[in-house]
């Protein structure tokens, strides 16, 4: 029965998108660390802010790279995804590039983002991302669109940071559809006492109810970190870990849905200075 639900979900995604060119670019998280550190505004000053709140990469001081891979949401290979990204500090802020591809031969989504972020003051950062989206569906053709995302972070009091992130600010759509690409607003609060980071917040998509989320990351050792999160709408929880080996970070995360099962995510990054 679970396999039937999974197959129906994949078919529904492809068929509805093919007929309307709408609701695309929603297959799943682009990186392994992202799924446990929800909501989207909570990237905890990490290179994976390339795909979410871009303000977080303003604190990165070295050249760095990041890759993520999932063999398929809820075990469906048709919903697999992969990502690549890099950051470079400059005299005017931190620049970055983010690439993500999802789907399979008959249905493929690709997004390429140019990212820029800067520290306005010691406590306040801001960033933006200009995205180019490409959707290709076998026997239906393809379409291209762009969108703009923006985010800010501010340290309200020592160890407590407020974060806000807006996705697809102008409500751009793709193809002939009048329905926009996913459009969201996220608000989060991070408390960072020592080796522990706790985040609470919410994601709001204009088409769906607000999703409340809570995340935690704890440095068990200097070279090993555990993290996890819970969410409502849909109800799900996540667990993950990060191991630091020299200049590299290796990550694994699992997203658990009560009916659709487990989704596995893998990540690798280097040159991350936090």
Number of folded domains in the chain?
1
Per-residue pLDDT, 260: 84
Q: CA–CA separation, 45 vs 274, rounded Å?
A: 7
Residues paired with 201 in a beta bridge = 188, 213
Q: CA–CA separation, 207 vs 187, rounded Å?
A: 17
The pTM of this model reads: 0.83
Per-residue pLDDT, 37: 47
Per-residue pLDDT, 9: 44
CATH number assigned to the domain comprising residue 238: 2.40.160.60
Q: What is the largest CA-CA distance in the chain?
A: 56
For CA atoms 73, 197, 249, 46, the dihedral sign is positive
Contact yes or no for 189/163 (Cβ under 8 A): yes
The SS3 of residue 19 is: helix
Residue 91 DSSP one-character state: T
Per-residue pLDDT, 170: 94
Q: Which residues of the chain have pLDDT under 50?
A: 1-23, 27, 32-33, 35-41, 43, 274
User: Residue 149: which domain range?
Assistant: 2-270
């Amino acid at each position: 029965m679970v396999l039937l639900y999974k197959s129906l979900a994949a078919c529904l995604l492809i068929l509805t998108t093919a007929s309307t060119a709408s609701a695309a670019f929603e297959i799943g998280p682009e990186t392994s660390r992202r799924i446990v550190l929800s909501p989207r505004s909570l990237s905890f000053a990490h290179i994976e802010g390339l795909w979410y709140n871009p303000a977080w990469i303003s604190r990165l001081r070295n050249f760095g790279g990041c890759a993520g891979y999932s063999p398929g949401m809820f075990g469906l290979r048709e919903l697999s995804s992969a990502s690549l990204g890099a950051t470079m500090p400059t005299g005017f802020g931190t620049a970055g590039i983010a690439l993500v591809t999802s789907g399979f031969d008959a249905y493929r989504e690709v997004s390429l983002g140019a990212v820029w972020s800067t520290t306005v003051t010691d406590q306040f950062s801001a960033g933006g991302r200009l995205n180019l989206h490409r959707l290709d569906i076998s026997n239906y053709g393809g379409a291209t669109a762009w969108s703009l995302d923006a985010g800010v972070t501010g340290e309200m009091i020592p160890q407590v940071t407020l974060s806000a992130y807006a996705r697809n600010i102008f409500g751009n759509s793709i193809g002939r559809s009048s329905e926009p690409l996913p459009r969201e607003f996220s608000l989060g609060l991070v408390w960072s006492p020592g080796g522990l980071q706790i985040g609470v917040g919410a994601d709001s998509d204009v088409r769906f109810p607000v999703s409340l989320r809570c995340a935690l990351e704890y440095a068990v050792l200097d070279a090993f970190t555990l993290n996890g999160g819970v969410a409502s709408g849909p109800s799900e929880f996540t667990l993950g870990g990060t191991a630091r080996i020299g200049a590299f970070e290796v990550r694994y995360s699992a997203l658990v849905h009560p009916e659709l099962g487990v989704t596995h995510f893998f990540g690798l990054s280097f040159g991350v200075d936090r």
